[in-house]
Amino acid sequence: MFLSNVSLFDFRNYAELELPLERSTTVLFGGNAQGKTNLLEAVALSALTRSPRTQQNAELVRFGQQAARVTATVQSQDGLEQVETRILMPPEASSGRVLRQFRHNGRDCGPAGVQGCLRVVLFWPDDLQLVKGPAEGRRRLLTMLLSQLDRVHARWISQYQHLLDQRNALLRAVRDGRQNAGQLDYWTGGLARVGAQIMVDRQRRVLELQPLAAAFHRELSDDRERLELRYRPSGARIGEAPVELVAQQLEAAMAAHREEEIARGQTAVGPQRDDLEVWLDERDARQFASQGQQRSAVLSLKLAELHYLAEATGEQPVLLLDDVMSELDPSRRERLLAALEPGPQALITAADLKDLPPSVLEHAAVFRVERGTVHA
């Protein structure tokens, strides 16, 4: 698939932008804080229905404005599709929530109506902490990948988040004596059922992602290192267990942690606590991996994501590379660039054109990003 146009209105530091894109590589360069990442974020938002950068939707609306709009036009196997995302601020002085609205080909729909029209793989400086950083980053990788492959998974994720917010609010209310602990069960059951679905999906996909990541890592390490991905579900042992059994395990684990959950006002187990560990040669990379090993592992994971999405859908996703070329040494950079060869459309940002090899610039459409505008 390829992104043929991006149109922004009051999104981050963009007042208005109309950017037609070519199937070939697009390079966006410019100084700090000019809007390069913001633009890639807008593309990722169109694919994921949420920003990969923030949970606070209000941040996406240009300062002082009431609504932001992002429209992505995508050319895929299914023809030309338009995905429109709007973020609406609540009226001033009201305590309402920030709203997200979606349109598919000009027609109103829910998030599920736009999911899967555009698929992206995002690689940005945050990812360099993927291996050793907090588990949240690794969970986000799984959620981004799985939601783009499977609308039902995306729905489980948003239902789970909603139920989790309700249950955590209830735990705090119980702790503070505002509500009775007896009600907890009615939220626990639903949460465990949805959580189990997420975990079973994660387990299956990690098993499929694993050989791809391992193969890339073997290549990057000149056949020296064995990379392994280990999914660590929180509060359940999955194996071959059917969803119902996983749900029962989760429910039992929540019951076992009840005192602690009430004291902390937080649900103690479930997919929000999962981890995806990266192991190198039978050792947990979080503890010992060098900078170089981490970089190879991250790059392997990203290449695996790219290939997995392409294989599973029969279509190349759009690759978003934010400022990572300068972070990679020449050989890793070569490997990443090789992935661009046969295939995916890429949007690449850099602070300076000098950070990009001539082989990329030669065939790319190059734009300068400057204070929320983009020009040739």
Partner 1 sequence: MAEIPASLARVMEELGRLPGIGPKTAQRLSFYLLRTPRDSVERLAAALIEVKARIRFCADCFFIAEAERCTICLSGRRDRTLLCVVEEPLDVLAIERTGEYHGIYHVLQGALSPIDGIGPNELRVAELLARLRREPVSEVILATDPDMEGEATAAYLAQQVGGLGMKTSRLAHGLPVGGELEYADELTLARAFSGRRLFQ
Ligand X SMILES: Nc1ncnc2c1ncn2[C@@H]1O[C@H](COP(=O)(O)OP(=O)(O)OP(=O)(O)O)[C@@H](O)[C@H]1O
**SS3 of residue 111 by DSSP:** helix
What's the Rg (C-alpha) of the chain? 22
The single residue among 20, 90, 134, 292 that binds partner 1, judged by CB under 8 A, is 90
The single residue among 27, 83, 157, 163 that binds partner 1, judged by CB under 8 A, is 163
Q: In this structure, what token pair is assigned to residue 170? A: 């209830």
Cβ distance to partner 1 smaller for residue 173 or 365 = 173
Stretch near Mg ion under the rule CB under 5 A, chosen from 31-39, 148-156, 159-167, 299-307: 31-39
Does the footprint of ligand X cover residue 12 (CB under 6 A)? yes
Number of Cβ within a 10 Å radius of residue 342: 8
**SS3 of residue 23 by DSSP:** coil
Does the footprint of partner 1 cover residue 113 (CB under 8 A)? no
Does the footprint of ligand X cover residue 33 (CB under 6 A)? yes
Does the footprint of partner 1 cover residue 180 (CB under 8 A)? yes
Does the footprint of partner 1 cover residue 98 (CB under 8 A)? no
**SS3 of residue 336 by DSSP:** helix
The single residue among 5, 9, 59, 100 that binds ligand X, judged by CB under 6 A, is 59
Parallel, antiparallel, or unpaired: how do β-strands 227-232 and 14-20 relate? unpaired
CA distances from residue 92 to 1, 64, 311 in whole angstroms, order as listed: 40, 11, 47
The single residue among 37, 188, 249, 316 that binds Mg ion, judged by CB under 5 A, is 37
Instruction: Name, in order, each residue with C-beta under 8 angstroms of 311's C-beta and a sequence gap of 6 or more.
Output: none
For 109-113, the CB contacts below 8 A with 24+ separation are 111/49, 111/154, 111/158, 112/151, 112/154, 112/155
Q: Please report, to the nearest 10 degrees, the dihedral formed by the alpha carbons of residues 276, 300, 295, 270 taken in order.
A: -10
Spatial contact of 49 and 85, defined as CB atoms under 8 Å apart: yes
Count of alpha carbons within 13 Å of 98, Cβ hemisphere only? 16
Number of Cβ within a 10 Å radius of residue 140: 16
Calculate helix-pair angle for 135-149, 36-48, nearest 10 degrees.
Answer: 50
Taking the complex as a whole, the smallest distance from the CB of residue 189 to partner 1 amounts, in Å, to 7
Q: In this structure, what token pair is assigned to residue 302? A: 């990203």
Each residue 133-162 as x (binds partner 1 by CB under 8 A) or -, in order, gives: --------------------------x--x
Q: How far apart are CA 155 and CA 65, in angstroms?
A: 30
Q: Which partner, partner 1, Mg ion, ligand X, none, binds residue 190 by CB below 5 to 8 Å per kind?
A: partner 1
Cβ distance to ligand X smaller for residue 36 or 167 = 36
The single residue among 4, 179, 210, 373 that binds partner 1, judged by CB under 8 A, is 179
Q: Which partner, partner 1, Mg ion, ligand X, none, binds residue 62 by CB below 5 to 8 Å per kind?
A: ligand X
Stretch near ligand X under the rule CB under 6 A, chosen from 55-63, 138-146, 283-291, 329-337: 55-63
Does the footprint of partner 1 cover residue 64 (CB under 8 A)? no
Does the footprint of Mg ion cover residue 51 (CB under 5 A)? no
Each residue 287-326 as x (binds ligand X by CB under 6 A) or -, in order, gives: ------------------------------------x---
Q: Which partner, ligand X, partner 1, Mg ion, none, binds residue 63 by CB below 5 to 8 Å per kind?
A: ligand X
Helix (H) or strand (E) holding 374: strand 373-375
Binding site for partner 1 (CB under 8 A): 90-94, 159, 162-163, 165-167, 169-170, 173, 178-180, 183, 185-187, 189-190
Interaction site with Mg ion (CB under 5 A): 36-37
